Amino acid sequence: MLRIDVLTLFPEAFSGYLSHSIIGRAAEKQVVDIRLHNIRDFTHDKHSTVDDYPYGGGAGMVMKPDPIFEAVEFVKTENQAADCRIVLLTPQGKLFTQELAGKLIEGNHIILICGHYEGIDERVAQHLATDEISIGDYLLSGGEVAAMVIIDCLVRLLPGAIGSSASLVEESHMEGLLEYPQYTRPPEYRGWKVPDVLLSGNHKEIANWRRAQSLRRTASRRPDLLNKAALTDKDNKMLKSIDLNNN
């Protein structure tokens, strides 16, 4: 079972989220064990101080290293996994991708550290964290939302988390491409029809159409992904025949 410990100043931010459908059920089924810890509980002074002024001056506050080190040490004594990854969530980190998610679930213990204020004392990144991860090129006010993004992405990859593994197989088949469009009933809504091929019952044609749609979308919306995607000769032929002006 994968164990995830989250160190945060706002554990209550997670509770509703972690009990929601897939993640809540995964925890019930003991596919994942997620534990929240308040960094403030690892302070020793009267005011439970977690932040302080930046050396060198400047605006804002910086999170102190000591409660974070102590929180990690507490968690590591509780769960003595050999291959624990200690992840600091920060906009300075390596970009989180599906590929990195796959690597993270290879181990069985992950500690996520959520920062706040203007930043975290650099000694946490240098001497405690094994990884620094960013979920995208934008600034959040804290690492909590980033931690939830990562937890969501990891948990749905765990065996047993999602009812049918068929959807995961389908996703990995799409590897590196955007998804094709999906439709459900009714077959016509406000005059907009579901593409005929999807109603045809011809599975081979449907598969071809879907692949062509994925390629077309990726080429027009995210051409950067095509370089990394696993494309067959047939895919490359399809791509050549795609009219990008008609999407």
Residues that bind ligand ADE (CB under 6 A): 89-91, 115, 134-136, 138-140, 143, 146
Q: Shortest Cβ distance from residue 134 to ligand ADE (Å)? A: 4
Across 144-213, where does the E strand assignment appear?
Answer: 188-189, 192-193
Residue 114's CB is within 10 A of a number of other CB atoms, namely: 28
**Nearest residue (CB) to ligand ADE, 154 versus 215:** 154
Q: Shortest Cβ distance from residue 17 to ligand ADE (Å)? A: 16
Q: Shortest Cβ distance from residue 140 to ligand ADE (Å)? A: 4
> Taking the mean position of all CA atoms in its chain, how far away is CA 28?
21
Instruction: Report yes or no: 153 and 26 within 8 Å, Cβ to Cβ.
Output: no
**Nearest residue (CB) to ligand ADE, 67 versus 115:** 115
**Nearest residue (CB) to ligand ADE, 112 versus 215:** 112
Q: Shortest Cβ distance from residue 191 to ligand ADE (Å)? A: 42
Closest alpha carbon to 131 in 106, 152, 156: 106
**Nearest residue (CB) to ligand ADE, 85 versus 216:** 85
> Which DSSP symbol is given to 162?
S
**Nearest residue (CB) to ligand ADE, 51 versus 162:** 51
* CA dihedral angle for residue 168, residue 172, residue 177, residue 181, rounded to 10 degrees: -30
Q: Shortest Cβ distance from residue 147 to ligand ADE (Å)? A: 8
Q: Is 161 exposed, middle or buried (0-12, 13-18, 19+ CB in 10 A)?
A: buried
Q: Shortest Cβ distance from residue 90 to ligand ADE (Å)? A: 5
Q: Does residue 186 have a cis peptide bond before it, meaning omega lies within 30 degrees of 0?
A: yes
Q: What is the DSSP pairing of strand 131-134 with strand 192-193?
A: unpaired
**Nearest residue (CB) to ligand ADE, 54 versus 91:** 91
- In DSSP terms, 51 is beta-bridged to 63
